[in-house]
Chains A and B, each alone.
Chain A
């Protein structure tokens, strides 16, 4: 243990602790900006670049960055001497001198870390603005993410997420000195880069340099259009996080309030993506069983393991980085797209609305979904199955805009027929959930026996890569799970080398699965929030009477009335897709 003094308080901490963490232990909150500690994800980002967190250490020539300076025995630290306060203010003024002053209309206003620190430091003036040149860049609009690098403060968090955590490598620091910035290669459009739109860069950006494409105004216009029938689907992870935007404890389930709010906003039908998740299990589970039985019969050409395909960030990832393995993932569309396809056919017929007059909106914890619903494969004569996707954050903003007192709303129920779901559909929102849902169904279909217990705790957790073997009535089935694309890469590389013996693998691009999606309320580095959301998801599952997808009566009815059976021709046309080699597209800019 090491003993030191911080602001006259004696602190004892373990060797290797930073001044910042030691101070925190005694309630001294040193402001940090570029620093980011995602402890549960194994990422501590401390480039020591912003210099906001500097403190005075006795006997040291210059000020020390507290985020990355380790404590030493007998160290005497002052976090608010005149020298420190002056330096911190000047550093902040410098950052602001190269930052647009348009806070009033900035999408991050009120939720901006730069703004919070400016307030905390009492900045009232930015001197010499008239002679201060700003580093400015072209604004880059992609289907999911907007890059406005004028607002970049070079904290480099996005670079860490994109490279170290996700291993996507779309973003890197480029240029040097005053014009240095984080950007894709050649400062090309994100759309032309290897970006997967996972949105983890957006999730950690302290300013509005990286934000989502906002569809709320479009939605308001559509809702007001009497000629359109606007329906909505909500993803499982949204209900476990939306409450945070209204000051509720992380992990509070707000399913009923959310449905109520959506109805108040004017949606004609409020449906649940969980219904489509059940549908996904029917298709993907059947595909798994088909491949499995061929494999067990000794067919050498069958591709195993089967990889889940519900996560659009993950789909983008393998389409651009593992183009030699495009035939391994399941061909099942994601729940969002299955929902859209069913809504604009089966449901549209039911309510007798023309396809082009039906607008399907999705509420997603995800930014890649915005891109996914724009893919050509998911359009019929140019009309998309899902018209657009808005994030959890956008929904919260919309609810606030509409004067809806969210916390005092009465619970409400989803509409039928696309609002009913099993617990299996719910757990899609957490890492391991898709595969657990699949196991619940596949086990019963494979063995013909009923499961005694539906909870597969061995598949749950926050470990980046997990594996388990499930006994399918004497046949051991090896399951792999990865969340975060960096972990996915590890699994894929082992498959490529032929070292893997998995039968099925679930992959989610975001940490913790969809609950940690790029469209969720910002966790500002508090990764314990992800765990709380996860617990909420499993609570919702436990509360359901139906826990297995194939027992969802509306799913059964959908197959009877419309699709026939899983993997039927019609199901193929509406619920399956194919993958494209995006490397070809990326080569030429």
Chain B
């Protein structure tokens, strides 16, 4: 390790490292953040949900959107996997089906950033696993 020579040096490495731990605090107050839950049961994983989750986390980070991405169990819409649930602060949760990378990108750009609804919403007549 070369020694830090100034406050700027310090801030630079802080910014580099920030994302490594920021996730840990976001979990404390998720109600103020965009929450994304990725269904992650065996069936979902088979349909590529882990890749989708990785993509979402990295893209949100890149696009500077404060969000918490968590996994959850099977949402029960196995026909539409991979499924994700997105909650924007102050709004009802919305579930999207058939989310691949392209769809995920669209969700981030249009729904999360601008609040526009996009295709693929599954009607809300279910309970999330946490409310059981």
- Give yes or no for direct A-B contact (beta carbon below 8 Å): no
Binding site for B on A (CB under 8 A): none
Binding site for A on B (CB under 8 A): none
